[in-house]
Amino acid sequence: MRPATDTGRDGVDMYDVAILGGGVVGCAIARELSRYHLRCVLLERFAEVGFGTTKTNSGIIHAGQQTMPGTLKGLLEVRGNAMFDRLQRELGFGFRRCGELVVASNDEELASLAKMKADGEAKGVPGLEMWDAARLRREEPNLSHHLTGALFAPSAGVINPYEFAFALAECALRNGVEVRLEHEVAAIAPRPGGGFVITSTGPGVPAGAPPVEARFVVNAAGVHADQVAALVGADDFSIRPRRGEEYMLDRRLEGIVTRLIFPVPTPASKGILIIPTYDGTIMVGPTAHDQDDRFDVPTTVEGSEEVFAAVRRLCPSLDPRATIAEFAGLRAVSSSGDFIIGPSRVPGFFNVAGIQSPGLTASPAIAVHVTELLGRAGLPLVARDDFEPSVAPPARFAQRTHEERQALVAAQPLFGRLVCRCELVTEAEVHEAVDHGARTLDGVKFRTRAGMGRCQGGFCTSRVMRILADRLGVPFHEVTKRGAGSWMVLPMEPAGEGPEARKEGAPCSDA
């Protein structure tokens, strides 16, 4: 049995914990808390989880040797890295330990790598090796020949971060966590007798719905975490969004490098790297430019020039003309420079803020750490014996052998109908994505890769939209890219009621 909780208004049980923010960190916390007999709710402003910083993440699981010793980042990064093999087995998201190379161009940089190796070993990073120029050229022959050596970290890897967030949320949901989408927190007020009353707005909030009441609040609101904290007077830190532009290259460059390639961290290198993604494409970036706007994420000519100038010093064959997609995201840089995790000066209100890189790597360890802190603050952590850690992995038709594909088609003919030619995504996989929570075009894209290939959705967009419209029971024009306001097409208007007819004085219909 779950422990008794206080009751809110009208005698309804309060939630034990309300998690604000459905990025990868909020979803990891939700899943961790679902191991216990607790009543928890996750509130997310977007139409699906993982649609903020998570979906524009570089998708790197860092080894840990590059983070400054003595920081909370460094501690939780190494712990988190070690948790991903088990998490991948349980949740089935795309993950591969490809290793990373931090490459040097001169003797001074080689010396800094030796110190980085010592720092990493002190933190417990496994398997660190120094490679000379000959070994580097043998292992990665397409890298520039001016490079003089590298530090190799085999425990680093690449991941599909949005798949990870979806799987965490689905697991939490199956284990009893309530997930409320399109719920933007507007106000948080202390509740008489303890706890909080949380008022939300947004398309997902039913008219007249009562606010959420919870004993504890976990603020995992990303670039908005300081604004959320200010709602309860816990405004003793600030967040500055840092925009990073990244560029995805055509699949024909697959294999040009096989490991993550980092420059030695210097002001000149700007931290721009080469990423062989889990799905085989090469991604380059990100830039790092602070800004005040927490929503605007443009890509720029200057950003592209900055990225390719940096990566071509590492690998001259990388050509900006191979770019098939570009995007930008925001990192939540705290005023402390480190993660801000723990109880605030307001009892019961916990901040999980400033979670920039390596936040994805640290996320499962952050979830355990936050759960332990909540337990020390009085949250009863009674383990469930019926916790189910696993969710079914996606079919990934493109990654199957010929024989496996034939078996899938025989069992379900929709596997024999392609929706996305570039990435070999089938109708069955789109339906599966909807079964697992996709409600938008991006929700399908991030679960299946439909629209991520060379034509960037030119072939598959209308096909995916038709399936979504049929499955969700909505008109075709109501299918959105990523939620409210991101329409893809306009509804057809009756004859004589279009814009030209209206210019001529034709009456407008209220339909």
pLDDT in tens, 264-304: 988 777 789 999 999 999 999 999 999 999 998 999 999 99
CA dist 267 and 147 (Å) reads 18
Please write down the HEC assignment for all residues of 143-208: CCCCCCEEEEECCCEEECHHHHHHHHHHHHHHCCCEEECCCEEEEEEECCCCCEEEEEECCCCCCC
β-sheet bridge partners, residue 262: 102
Q: Which of 14, 9, 139, 46 is nearest to 443 (CA)?
A: 46
Q: How many secondary structure helices (H) and strands (E) does the chain include?
A: 14, 22
β-sheet bridge partners, residue 17: 40, 216
Q: Which domains does the chain have, with CATH numbers?
A: 1-95+159-238+335-393 (3.50.50.60), 100-154+239-328 (3.30.9.10), 397-478 (1.10.10.1100)
CA dist 152 and 128 (Å) reads 6
* Pair 278, 160: CB distance under 8 Å: yes
Contacts of 222 (CB under 8 A, 6+ apart): 21, 23, 52, 53, 330, 332, 355
For 329-338, give one letter per residue: b (16+ CB within 10 A) or e: bbbbbbeeeb
Rounded to 5 degrees, what angle do the CA atoms 96, 313, 303 make?
Answer: 80
Classify strands 196-201 and 273-276 as parallel, antiparallel or unpaired. unpaired
- Active-site residue identified among 37, 62, 183, 224: 62
For the record, the structure tokens of 398 come out as 């493109």
CA dist 348 and 194 (Å) reads 8
Q: Torsion-angle region of residue 66: left (phi > 0), alpha (psi -120 to 50) or beta?
A: alpha
pLDDT, residue 443, reads 97
In the three-class reduction of DSSP (H, G, I as helix; E, B as strand; rest coil), residue 240 is classed as strand
β-sheet bridge partners, residue 19: 42, 218
Q: pLDDT tens across 155-176, in order?
A: 999 999 999 999 999 999 999 9
183 catalytic residue (yes or no)? no
CA dist 511 and 505 (Å) reads 17
What does the pLDDT profile of the chain (511 residues) look like in tens digits? Answer: 333 344 455 445 699 999 999 999 999 999 999 999 999 999 999 999 999 999 999 999 999 999 988 899 999 999 999 999 999 999 999 999 999 999 999 999 999 999 999 999 999 999 999 999 999 999 999 999 999 999 999 999 999 999 999 999 999 999 999 999 999 999 999 998 899 999 999 999 999 999 999 999 999 999 999 999 999 999 899 999 999 999 999 999 999 999 999 999 887 777 899 999 999 999 999 999 999 999 989 999 999 999 999 999 999 999 999 999 999 999 999 999 999 999 999 999 999 999 999 999 999 999 999 999 999 999 999 999 999 999 999 999 999 999 999 999 999 999 999 999 999 999 999 999 999 999 999 999 999 999 999 999 999 999 999 999 999 999 999 999 999 989 899 887 665 555 444 344 333 333 2
The gap from C-alpha 371 to its chain's centroid, in whole angstroms, comes to: 21
CA dist 221 and 29 (Å) reads 12
The CA dihedral of 361, 362, 363, 369, to the nearest 10 degrees, is 160
Which helix (DSSP H) or strand (DSSP E) does residue 290 occupy?
strand 289-290
DSSP 13: B
Q: Which of 145, 335, 321 is nearest to 239 (CA)?
A: 335
pLDDT, residue 499, reads 47
Contacts of 243 (CB under 8 A, 6+ apart): 287, 288, 289, 290, 291, 297, 328, 329, 330, 331
* pTM of the entire predicted model: 0.93
